[in-house]
């Protein structure tokens, strides 16, 4: 446990219908270890109780009705108030208890970006054989195409400084699941392997049902790697929130 790190941190979770897991995920986030901690849900118009449960627990909720995992992050990265951003899924899979240690590592080692590898320490049942193979395949392809040596290209837990996006080339372009591999590729390319590192963390079985479409998402991720490598990727929506988005922080959101 770390005491009083002099930093402001936003822990950000994209959510879409996670009522079974969001409460436990939020409860697992340690409190009181840094100057300022914002817990931010970027919700993609959940039709269940996700937003209500998050508000009940004091989290900030930003509503991003445009669909997509990447879309949620491309909004959240701009509206987050912290200087350091930590991301995780809202499904109890990532080790929230390690957040203070990871932030301390970022600060003390003067890093810009940490991505958390799940493949080395995944717990029994955390990843099906098919997902494990898909992850390996995508990570292998990413290593082959980009040579940046990331073990787990699909991990959704990153710890980084918000200011990395002041360089527009660092801003991920993909609105879907491929944003996850894209942000790591950009980090290694623009920040370098001394400032952008990978550490291994435990990974646990999911709580609640996933919306992931194994074959569809796997194919999109693979296709994106080639598109990004050969400059054929396109941005479909602009960086940052749209004016129509609502947020509990400014009182515009009605749960
Ligand atoms: N805002 C928003 N969040 C989303 C959307 N799609 C997925 N999410 C969230 O993004 C996170 C990652 O999605 P998951 O379904 O866990 O995907 P995954 O981790 O690849 O799949 P599992 O291994 O089965 O957990 C979860 O917290 C989802 O609730 C979306 O369209 N909008
Ligand atoms: Mg997940």
pLDDT mean over 35-57: 98
Does the pLDDT of residue 202 top 70, yes or no?
yes
**248 occurs within a structural domain:** no
For residue 2, the model assigns a pLDDT of: 46
What are 117's two structure tokens? Answer: 């590898």
**249 occurs within a structural domain:** no
**95 occurs within a structural domain:** yes
**237 occurs within a structural domain:** no
What are 128's two structure tokens? Answer: 């099906």
**79 occurs within a structural domain:** yes
CA 160 – ligand 1 centroid, Å = 20
The CATH number of the domain where 114 resides is what? 3.90.550.10
pLDDT band at 49 (very low <50, low <70, confident <90, very high): very high
Q: Number of folded domains in the chain?
A: 1
Query: Which positions ≥6 away from 2 have C-beta within 8 Å?
Result: 33, 34, 100, 101, 103, 104
Q: Is 74 in the pocket of ligand 1 (CB under 6 A)?
A: no
The pLDDT > 90 percentage for the chain reads 91
Does the pLDDT of residue 195 top 80, yes or no?
yes
Q: What is the H or E stretch that residue 234 is in?
A: none
Range of the domain at 45: 5-229
CA 195 – ligand 2 centroid, Å = 26
Sign of CA dihedral 73, 76, 77, 83: negative
Q: Can you give the pTM of this predicted structure?
A: 0.96
**198 occurs within a structural domain:** yes
**247 occurs within a structural domain:** no
79-116: pLDDT as tens digits: 999 999 999 999 999 999 999 999 999 999 999 999 99
Average pLDDT score, the chain: 95
Q: How large is the C-alpha radius of gyration of the chain?
A: 17
For residue 255, the model assigns a pLDDT of: 66
Nearest atom, ligand 1, residue 17 CA? 29
**242 occurs within a structural domain:** no
Does the pLDDT of residue 211 top 80, yes or no?
no
């Amino acid at each position: 446990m770390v005491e009083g790190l002099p930093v402001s941190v936003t822990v950000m979770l994209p959510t879409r219908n996670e009522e079974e897991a969001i409460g436990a995920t939020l409860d697992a986030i340690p409190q009181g270890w840094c100057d300022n901690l914002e817990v931010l849900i970027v919700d993609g118009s959940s039709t269940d109780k996700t937003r209500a449960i998050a508000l009940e627990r004091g989290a900030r909720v930003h509503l991003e009705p445009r669909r997509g995992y990447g879309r949620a992050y491309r909004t959240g990265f701009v509206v987050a108030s912290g200087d350091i951003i930590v991301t995780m899924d809202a499904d109890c899979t990532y080790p929230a208890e390690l957040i203070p240690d990871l932030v301390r590592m970022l600060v003390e080692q003067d890093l810009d970006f940490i991505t958390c590898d799940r493949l080395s320490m995944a717990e029994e049942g955390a990843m099906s054989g098919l997902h494990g193979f898909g992850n390996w395949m995508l990570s292998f392809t990413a290593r082959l195409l980009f040579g940046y040596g990331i073990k787990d290209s699909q991990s959704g837990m990153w710890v980084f400084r918000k200011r990395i996006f002041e360089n527009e080339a660092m801003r991920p372009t993909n609105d879907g699941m491929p944003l996850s591999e894209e942000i790591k590729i950009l980090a290694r390319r623009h920040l370098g392997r001394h400032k952008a590192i990978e550490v291994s963390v435990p990974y646990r079985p999911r709580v609640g049902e996933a919306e992931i479409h194994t074959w569809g998402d796997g194919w999109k991720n693979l296709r994106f790697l080639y598109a990004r490598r050969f400059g054929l990727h396109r941005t479909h929506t602009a960086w940052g929130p749209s004016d129509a988005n609502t947020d509990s922080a400014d009182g515009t959101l009605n749960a």
